[in-house]
Amino acid sequence: MDRALAWPASLPPDDRERAPYTGFARAHWEHVADALLAGVRRFASPRGALLALPGGPTSMNGARSDGLEGFARTFLLAAFRLRGADGRAPGDLAARCADGLAAGTEPGHDESWPAITPTSQPMVEAASIALALFETRPWIWDALPDAVRQRTVAWLSTSFTGPAHPNNWLLFPVVVDAFLASVGAPHRPDLAERNLALVDAMYRRDGWYSDGPGRHYDHYVGWAIHFYTVWWLRMGGAARDPARAARTRARIRRFLEDFEHLFAADGAPLHQGRSLIYRFAAAAPLWAGAIAGATPLAPGATRRIASGALRHFLAHGAIEDGLLTMGWHRAFPAMAQRYSGPASPYWASKGFAGLVLPSAHPVWTDVEAPLAVERGDFCRALSEPGWLVRGTRADGVVRVANHGSDHFPAIPLGASAAHGDDPFYRKLGYATHAGPCLGAEADAADCDAQVSLLDEAGVASRRARIHPIACADRFAASCFFPGERHVIGTQPFPLWLERVETVSIARGALEVRIHHAMAYRPRRLRDGGYALAGDAAPAVERGPGWCAVRRADGLVSAVVGLHGFGAADAVRFEDANAFGRLAAAPFLLGADLVGPEAVYVSLHAFGAQPFEPDALRAEVRALRVRGRLVELAFADGERCLVQLVAADAIDVALGGVRVAGAVRFARLAADGALFVRLDG
């Protein structure tokens, strides 16, 4: 843990009765907030309107925008700290924030902020500033000179000069509008209503939004969409639109039913999706649900998950020399997006939103409740994102088989060749204890946690757009078309000539994968397991049809070929993984070329369990493949019949996964005819 965060002697001792899992009390949260705010102060401009933090290159938005980002995101943290302490916090916090606001909004000042345009980074930061001003109104806004208030209103009002990006950005001007309304300033409720309606159009089901058109499911659903819609309620929306308020509360409540399953026993959130440098911002929707009175979680469960996440990142070096680094555990700049600047990690401030709740609130006073993975093994099918989530109590690890979230742009066939080919979305597997390998070499290989077709030169196909087929019970299925990544003029590549369909069957720490592949050119199927990474190179063990990668702490990633596979090996990478400098991932290679069609069956194991190859093979007592029908009998007596049903090619080529073949597939799953489990 960073020396700047060493608990002072005056900190009250841990209340072990209330925090048996994390040992964290509200005082710990306040102390971390104070330490983070103190850590950035030395990099502030003379009046504090800009923060020039070290630790990363300038973002594509420019140094001035990055400086504004530093002020806005730490101001958000300061606001939560001040609100929860009735305006009292170390370091004359309110006065410093007010001085920065005055300088930043003064035209021509050396520290003035860039203008807001609806699609520029200052739009994001305007929402944080508006929210922070709302929370700190008695100590900052009400004490500002009239001239500064007028300049602030003028700066914020430029949020409404045009349409925002069609994703979570739609909510930034909504938050700005809510603040302006709360202080009696001119605002645009018509445009705010329009944006809220557009966000409603991004809602799918079961509490899940897509972050824009397409299938964009990741942490942004929680730390951006649910977070800001709840703050819209808090900033007066509930009174203005009771019907929308009721929908908002129902949606976050349902979302949290799923979301609580995406945290490991050691506090780690699921490592999937972009902008993971925001780290414990993953706790934001948990606090938002409690603030809105719309959560299925007991108060002690909310704090257990949030405190676990904060403690996890503190323990793994996320803060160095008092600053949040660009990375997941320690600094790992490869995780940065094009829009990421040195201050970007401070969106993690959203993880402190619970501080706005008074110290007497049950989330702070109730005894911590165990996580889902601490209560017992589970498997949960998240139908909308297409995630088959499984957690095991023995090691506290959570894993996801991804059959639905791809971040692929919603563009028609014949458009440009742009694509959403992103390792944080295209992988078949994600986990709380493993992440994708990044960088040019790893990206080209695309071996870890992935299924692909290899050509004669060993070049891998891309699972860029995922067509979900079904996700129910302990089964999930999807397919992809390697040619769909490329669009040539107005004539699509003949997508139906190459296709890979995958079914995942969850069995505790194990996953059975069944692949049905077809190709018209020489292709060989490769099935990769999770990458393990650490400061020391993971050990690699190989045998006939199996490979295991083992880390010194006991974490294991293993693959076993059950049908259709020949060689087994591992791929190694250096400085390519957020979990450590040296990484390795096991994989299986098809025994023969795919040809017109072929079926493959594999067993994947990931977690802190021995996973010896002979014992893994013994889990499958019998296996029979007849055409597209796969029958499995497991050691515990369970039997599964899986009828592979390919999506109709022309339906996909004409633009949809949810038409004809795919609809028949999903309906069969619901009727119990696609996946059949016979116990005993």
The pLDDT tens digits for 538-589 are 999 999 999 999 999 999 999 999 999 999 999 999 999 999 999 999 999 9
What would the pLDDT profile of 390-409 be if each residue is shown by its tens digit?
999 999 999 999 999 999 87
At residue 414, the pLDDT reads 40
> Band of the pLDDT at 13, cuts 50, 70, 90?
low
Over residues 46-57, the mean pLDDT reads 92
pLDDT band of 11, cuts 50, 70, 90: low
Going by pLDDT thresholds of 50, 70 and 90, the confidence category of residue 266 is: very high
Per cent of the chain over pLDDT 90 is 81
Six token digits for residue 402: 């991804």
Q: pLDDT at position 482, please? A: 86
Q: Is the pLDDT of residue 661 over 70?
A: no
Report the pLDDT value the prediction gives residue 606, as an integer from 0 to 100.
98
Buried b (16+ CB within 10 A) or exposed e, 415-451: eeeebbbbbbbbbbbbbbbbbbbbeeebbebbbbbbb
Rounded CA gap, 338 and 481, in Å?
A: 28
Kindly report the number of other CB atoms within 10 A of residue 13's CB atom: 9
Residue 30 has pLDDT above 60, yes or no: yes
205-236 in b/e form (b: 16+ CB < 10 A) is eebbbbbbebbbbbbbbbbbbbbbbbbbbbbe
Q: What is the spatial distance between Cα 56 and Cα 551, in angstroms, rounded to a whole number?
A: 30
User: What residues form DSSP beta bridges with 587?
Assistant: 528, 569
Confidence at 671, pLDDT banded by 50, 70, 90: very low
Q: pLDDT confidence of 91, banded at 50, 70, 90?
A: confident
- pLDDT tops 90 at residue 204: yes
**Contacts by residues 52-56 (CB-CB < 8 Å, ≥ 24 positions apart):** 52/342, 53/323, 53/342, 53/343, 54/323, 54/342, 55/323, 55/325, 55/326, 55/331, 55/342, 56/326, 56/333, 56/336, 56/340, 56/341, 56/342, 56/344
Q: What is the pLDDT of residues 489-537, one digit of tens each?
A: 444 455 667 899 999 999 999 999 999 999 989 999 999 999 999 999 9
Nearest to 188 by CA among 209, 162, 219, 217: 162
**Mean pLDDT calculated for residue range 465-472:** 91
Question: All domains of the chain, ordered by start, with CATH?
Answer: 24-374 (1.50.10.20), 376-678 (2.70.98)
Contact by Cβ (8 Å): 300, 256: no
| pLDDT tens profile 530-543 | 999 999 999 999 99
* Nearest CA-CA partner of 374 in 257, 509, 254, 266: 266
208, β-bridge pairs: 205
Residue 56 has which token pair? 């990363």
Q: What angle do CA 122, 215, 407 make, to 5 degrees?
A: 60
Structure-block tokens of residue 161: 């000069």
Q: Tell whether the model's pLDDT for residue 680 goes beyond 80.
A: no
Beta bridge partners of 491: 488
Cross-strand pairs, 583? 533, 573
User: Token pair 């791809």 is at which residue?
Assistant: 406
Task: Answer left, alpha or beta for residue 627, where phi above 0 means left and psi between -120 and 50 means alpha.
Answer: left
pLDDT exceeds 90 at position 191: yes
Q: Is the pLDDT of residue 217 over 70?
A: yes
Taking residue 326's Cβ as centre, other Cβ atoms within 10 Å add up to 23
For residue 4, pLDDT beyond 80: no
User: Can you give the pLDDT at residue 86?
Assistant: 95
